[in-house]
Chains A and B, each alone.
Chain A
């Protein structure tokens, strides 16, 4: 076990988090969902850095609460018509809707069972969201982009540039807004938009040209030994692969199609796409500076996440009652050994991974209007 502080490969965190999210998607058992949420929170607290994105987890927790609230509110307002169960809590006045809105009811009797069902369902969604949030907090988004396959390099660069430009745009907007006051302008509406938007757009345009020129001068987009055959070949493979994936997905979901169109088709399509990506990547000759290593901690992190998902999937085939506790009649949710074990395994990365390094950033506090107005 490597105890030297270092960052864990972002893809490992994403596999782990998606594994947990998959596990969450298989159950509405509030106890299991709570366990998953707890596991995610413990790992985040143990292994996040002090970078700005690492504080995102709290925001996801709040978002989760909002999701639960919305889910329950919708059930109360719209779900009166199909109320199951006999424990009526309250009966809202039902508003008759025009004929074309068949199947939608406003108001009506609300039962404890339907609210409970909405609560469980909302919790499931919120937990999935928080798992994604955990990945965001643990993995540096820019480093994650660097792990994209070489053929998708351009997409990664575009996203990186956008992430850099956005704060600059905000800054130049603030600067221009302040400058407007110097002209005594208090205009509102369209005139105001023009007086702010024009300078900001000019600024943004000038900046993009400068960036493009700089990237060109620094060798971006070098093709060196470009070869028409590989270019056409990789495009053809990618197109065929994507079309195949659409067909395959349809085949898997629709039982009436021949079996060949299902899983085999999907597998073949994935192979084609991977081949296309690899071929396209070979065309662009480029290297990576200090790529994140993929060692034992990465393997164990990813596998722990997968273990949680597998445990829940197996449980669904063997003991599905545990995963979806009955709401009508309401029953106290139970626990079983296998799903709890799976989720507990996902807790291991909190100790199996090396701690994050402490990065000292004595960031200059950036002032609202201009870079110059800074007491260094």
Chain B
């Protein structure tokens, strides 16, 4: 169905190819998962399927790609629109019209499908993806999961043979991700569409995959059965890591398979207390105390009056669905965001009452789109500027970055850094001011497993040095390994607040994979297991 024949892709100006001698075929009707670390060429591989690489991106493609018998060398993306549907990473950025119904019809209009057929297909697609009640809604008012399903629907109305999705669940909360994955698996099972998905959050998708294409660092692609390939793939979800560490063959990919294999392990671990992953915080010293914080935008109440305390050396996770008020709360705590009522106390003062330049010495915030803070041409210039604006000794920011993430080229353009590097740079810029409390809004977005592990280590180091950290995220696996405490917020109210293990093990939506496999024992990560003898 999709056939790669000795494909090598080199971008203009690059010395090394992104993809090297890729040679495999995805059979019709399969769910193919593309895995790899950030920057390994996953998106490039997806782009070659409908010819966006190299027709749109430039560069050189050797070998050839055949999609349902069409050679992408002679068929540019627009001519393949009827054969390959594409859903991009940020669905809103790819929307051409303004309402859901028009968006579904757009591709068909371009393909000159007759109006009666169009009408029928739009209705069918609305039903297939459960979007019927949203048909008149402007796209900008849809939630992330709805938008992602709308984008899938827009690609689907043209009745393509193959569907290509780039990170369809990365930005979604667990519920939104479930909706989208349910829709995708339905397409594979009921309609026989060939689906190619690239995804960082393997814990969400790997169990649905029929085949896996693993993109390595050198640009070579290994293709095969998920069970065999995941045994040594460069990235792996926790359940696979557990299987690898415990030496289980065949490797379990789903919670259910792993639970079956884990019976003896559970018995051995029954008597063992899970060791803590992080040094415990100073229980008596409170770094940040918020009383009755509320945020309102016009008639909409984003955060209802909320109390929150963060201790010295504590890492707190802020969880909740998209739009629950996490960002609003963080901005209000920092003092820059709007606040309807309440007081925050950091070392005796409220950052809201201080000038922005002074407030950031008490509380630093890394916003969701961290790149917004960067505007200079090189990493070095940003760091020098950070020293100047924080009144710090020259070189402070530089040594901070060196400690957080060594090896970033100082003459690189900030926009060319990977997500993880950019996050480290912004964190270094914010830490230069010497805040005791650091807030991070959705830092795990777009990070692969290695980058997330590194972020967890950075946060743990900060906590050890006496900083307090609050991090909002959807990523339960990250929360399980990196935080002391979890605060769950819904509809602008705190609905749960307690030790990470207490809060997430009990929750069906938030439980990490290891906890699900080893329930009722309270283990959270593979790292934790590795530290006990009973596991080896």
The digit string for A339-369, where 1 denotes a CB below 8 A from any CB of B, is 0000000000000000000011111111111
Could you tell me the distance in whole angstroms from the C-beta of B344 to the nearest C-beta in chain A? Answer: 15
Assess whether A210 is in contact with B93, with CB atoms less than 8 Å apart. yes
Chain B hits for A157, CB < 8 A: 96
A212 neighbours in B (Cβ, 8 Å): 56
Chain B: minimal CB distance from A283 (Å): 12
Interface residues in B91-124 (C-beta closer than 8 Å to A): 93-98, 101-102, 105-115, 118-119, 122
Q: Is the CB of A291 within 8 A of B78?
A: no
Question: With A214-B94, A375-B323 given, is the CB distance from A285 to B112 under 8 Å?
Answer: yes
- Which residues of chain B from 367 to 401 have a CB within 8 Å of any chain A CB? 367-369, 371-376, 386, 389-390
Query: Do B390 and A221 touch across chains, with their CB atoms under 8 A apart?
Result: no
Find out whether the CB atom of B492 lies under 8 angstroms from the CB atom of A375: yes
**Residue pair A366, B140 in contact (C-beta under 8 Å):** yes
With A287-B114, A361-B137 in contact, do A164 and B374 touch (Cβ < 8 Å)? no
Q: Nearest-CB distance from B101 to chain A (Å)?
A: 8
Determine whether the beta carbon of B78 is less than 8 Å from that of A363. Answer: no
CA distance A207 to B111 in the complex (A): 24
Smallest CB gap from B366: residue in A? A182
Chain B interfacial residues counted at CB < 8 A: 93
**Beta-carbon contact of B77 and A217 below 8 Å:** yes
Chain A binder among B213-221, B256-264, B298-306: B298-306
* B314 beta carbon closer than 8 Å to chain A: no
By beta carbon, the residue of chain A nearest B82 is A219
Evaluate contact between B81 and A213: CB separation under 8 angstroms.
Answer: no
| CB contact list, B328-364 vs A, under 8 A | 328, 331, 334, 336-337, 355-360, 364
Which one of A19-27, A91-99, A172-180, A312-320 is at the B interface? A172-180
Q: Is the CB of A216 within 8 A of B372?
A: no
Q: Which residues of A contact B80 (CB under 8 A)?
A: 217
In the complex, chain B residues whose CB is within 8 Å of the CB of A288:
109, 115
**Distance A157 CA – B297 CA, assembled complex (angstroms):** 33
Q: Is the CB of A182 within 8 A of B336?
A: yes
- Kindly state whether residue B365 has any CB partner on chain A within 8 Å: yes
Residues A195 and B375 in contact, CB atoms below 8 Å apart: yes
Contacts of B367 in A (CB 8 A): 175, 178-179, 182, 370
Cβ of A167: which chain B residues have Cβ within 8 Å of it? 140
Are B323 and A186 neighbours in the complex by a CB distance under 8 Å?
Answer: no
CB <8 Å contact, A214 and B108: no
Q: Looking at the assembled complex, report how far the CB atom of B325 sits from the nearest CB atom of chain A, in whole angstroms.
A: 6
Interface size on A, residues (CB 8 A): 62
Residues of B within 8 A of A195 (CB): 375
Nearest residue (CB) in B for A176 is B372
Interchain CA distance A182-B375 in the complex, whole Å? 14
A289 touches B390 (CB 8 A): no
Within 8 A of A (CB), among B281-337: 297-303, 321-328, 331, 334, 336-337
Could you tell me if B336 and A216 are in contact, using CB atoms closer than 8 angstroms?
no
Contact present for A287 and B109 (CB under 8 Å): yes
The yes or no answer to A4 lying at the interface (CB within 8 A) is no
A182 to B39, CA, bound (A): 29
What's the Cα separation between A367 and B149 when bound, in Å? Answer: 23
Cβ-based interface call for A184 (8 A): yes
Question: Could you write out 21 A-B pairs with CB less than 8 Å apart?
Answer: A161-B96, A176-B372, A179-B369, A179-B372, A181-B336, A184-B359, A186-B355, A199-B375, A212-B56, A213-B88, A219-B82, A219-B158, A222-B79, A222-B110, A288-B115, A289-B109, A290-B105, A367-B328, A370-B369, A373-B328, A376-B321
List B residues at the A interface (Cβ < 8 Å).
Answer: 50, 52, 55-56, 76-82, 84, 86, 88, 90, 93-98, 101-102, 105-115, 118-119, 122, 136-138, 140-141, 143, 154-155, 158, 297-303, 321-328, 331, 334, 336-337, 355-360, 364-365, 367-369, 371-376, 386, 389-390, 415, 429-430, 433, 441-442, 491-492
Chain A contacts to B: CB under 8 angstroms: 142, 157, 160-161, 164, 167, 175-176, 178-186, 194-196, 198-199, 202, 207, 210-222, 224, 285-291, 359-370, 372-376
A-B pairs with lowest CB-CB distance, top 3: A214-B94, A219-B81, A184-B357
